[in-house]
Amino acid sequence: MSVIFDFDQGVLDLESTNAKLEQSDAEERVRWAHEHFGDRLILSTSFGIQSAVMLHLVTRIVPDIPVVFIDTGYLFPETYQFAEQLQERLELNLKVYQPLMTAARQEALYGKLWEQGREGLEKYGRINKAEPMNRAVRELGAVAWLTGLRRKQSKSRADLTVVTVQNKTTKIQPILDWSEKEIYYYLKTHDLPFHPLWEKGYVSIGDWHSTRPLTDGMQEEETRFGGIKRECGLHELSGQGDWQI
């Protein structure tokens, strides 16, 4: 039997929990997470193309939830501007985490890791994404994490369930089953903005050096990391050291 530990109610069966939440809507999934994990629940955001959806959806239900933003130092200027806009509008309890090693030091020691194939990209992800997120989880005392992952985003996410366990952290994906149409409708209904680079053909936003616009014949997942990989490091299982998220 697969289980996840719940601080208030002992042990939950992962299979039956997912069966129940699969039939729930996004708001009910957020409420479930808050009821079960309380102030040990966090939300992450990349301030990407559709990030306003999760930020608005979750903070309407849990206004003071810590919102973790990993600033790699390589984000688009428009991303920083978008982050400021949404933080002010939604009054986010924003927690910004950065890599322990500066971009300049990384490039001096290792070169441009994003140009060094899969191995380089994985090292880049550990330094710039996974370590800061692990640190956020530890310092904020979190045991559960709300994410905006959706099945339709890529093949690597197609089989995800609403609740997963990634090493020591329980992850909840409230909008896992949403379509692009539902995302668009939510943004329009609540007068929320897309990331400004949406109008320039970007459908997924990460670091400037590893993100490109969608062009004819491309799949969305090919717009990141030159098509070598889809995940940046935050949503991959790993048994390496304290890469716990």
- Rounded CA-CA distance 18/13 in Å is 9
Burial of residue 108 (CB within 10 Å: 0-12, 13-18, 19+) is exposed
Cα distance between residue 157 and residue 148, in whole Å: 11
Assess whether 232 carries a catalytic annotation: yes
Contacts of 243 (CB under 8 A, 6+ apart): 126, 130, 131, 134, 167
Tell me which of 58, 162, 232, 245 is the catalytic residue. Answer: 232
Inter-helix orientation angle 14-22/26-37, to 10°? 140
Count the Cβ atoms, other than its own, within 10 Å of residue 32.
18
- Cβ neighbours, 10 Å, residue 59: 18
Catalytic residue positions, numbered? 232
